[in-house]
Each structure stands twice: as C-alpha cells, then as structure tokens.
Amino acid sequence: MKSNLSLYALTEALRRLPGIGPKSAQRIAYHMLQHDREGARQLSVALSDAIEKVRHCERCNTFTEEMVCTMCTSPDREQSLLCVTETPADMLMIEQTLAYKGLYFILMGSLSPLDGIGPKEINLGKLIARATDGVVTEVVLATSFNNEGEATAHYISEMLKARGIRVSRLARGVPVGAELEYVDIGTIARALLDRQTT
C-alpha cells in the first residue's frame, strides 16, 4: 500500500460521492488511470473550477457564477409570480413544460428535521425576503410530492400566508410519493395549470 498512496487517496475520494460504493470507486479509479487519464485531468480541473466559481444567486438561490443569475435578470419573465422548487434540476423540468413564465426560488433541499435539515438549511429567511419584496403577488409551491416536500410546502405556505402572500401548490396531477425530477413533463404542465390556492 505505501507504494500506492495516491491510488488509495483517489479511491477514498471517489467513495465519498453519493451512490458510489467501494467496488465502484475502485473500478472508476482503475479505469481512469488505465484508459482515461485525460478524462481524469478534466474532472480534476472541472472540480476545482466549480468550487472556486459556483455560488448562489442572491435573488433565487440557484447555482450561478454571477451575483444574480440570468433567469432573475431576464425582462421577459412575469415578475409577480415566484415558483419554489427544491433543486435546480426541478426548475429545469418546469422550464421544459413551457407552462410557466414567472421567476423562481430554489430551496436547495427540503425540510427533514431527522437529518438536521431545518428552515435555515433550506434558506427560508432568504425566501421570505424575496417573496415580500412588494412585487411578488403569488408564490407557486413546486416542492416534491413525497413526505419531505409536502411538509416543506405546508411550512412555507403557513409562513407566507401569515405575511399576506397568496400561495398556491402544483395540482395533484403529480403522483403522490413521486420525486418531481422523475415525473413526465405533461403531468407537470397539467399540475401547473391546475395549481390550487392553499
């Protein structure tokens, strides 16, 4: 092993990725060193580049390299509508429906008290400030329809209604228990049209 410290360190670093077990980590490390050192170099650069440059948009909290992302500064979007999603991937899904023309707020997670993820971890203070700017008149909750997503939607709904904001939720065309990222676009489009005031 002492003649292989850097291979060991690489395997351990790969194991830290979500969904990668010890066997996969070893196979990936061997593959890159044997067949794709150029890919390994690109990944190394991409990682250090991303952690240096990627930050959160000051308005919508999504990943961006600028202070405010291009979505938030677009003049073509309806400024009074704010859609709340758990992840940037969920936002992209909603964009693909072409059924929504407002702006977004990305929580970067969902409430999960048992995992130590409370209101602060999903940036609810930032959401309140954003939703009460005087321009937003309706917040559309597009969190997932599993337990955490529903609890998050309920919590945000109570919080914003107490501040006089109109809150709606994607209609229950989305299958209960499903995670938004895996739902077909047609269903999401239907659910957007049928959104219900809560």
Please give the residue ranges that form the binding site for Zn ion (CB under 5 A): 57, 59-60, 69, 72
Give the dihedral of Cα atoms 174, 181, 86, 145; nearest 10 deg. Answer: 30
Q: Which is nearer to a copy of itself, 4 or 197 (CB)?
A: 4
* Interface positions, 16-55, toward a copy of itself (CB under 8 A): 16-19, 23-24, 26-34, 36-37, 39-54
Task: With CB under 8 A as the rule, give the number of residues binding a copy of itself.
Answer: 56
* Interface positions, 147-166, toward a copy of itself (CB under 8 A): none
Rule CB under 8 A: is residue 74 a binding residue for a copy of itself? no
**Which amino acid, residue 144?**
S
Cα distances (angstroms) measured from residue 113 to each of 4, 43, 122, 163: 41, 34, 11, 24
Tokens of 10: 């690489």
Output the smallest distance, CB 88 to a copy of itself, in A. 7
Rule CB under 8 A: is residue 96 a binding residue for a copy of itself? no
Output the smallest distance, CB 90 to a copy of itself, in A. 11
Dist. CA 55–CA 9, nearest whole Å: 27
Q: How far apart are the first and last CA of the chain?
A: 60
Dist. CA 58–CA 69, nearest whole Å: 8
Dist. CA 43–CA 26, nearest whole Å: 17
Of a copy of itself, Zn ion, none, which one sits near residue 197, judging by CB under 5 to 8 A according to partner kind? Answer: none
Residues within the interface to a copy of itself (CB under 8 A): 2-7, 9-10, 12-14, 16-19, 23-24, 26-34, 36-37, 39-54, 63-66, 69-70, 87-89, 108-109, 181
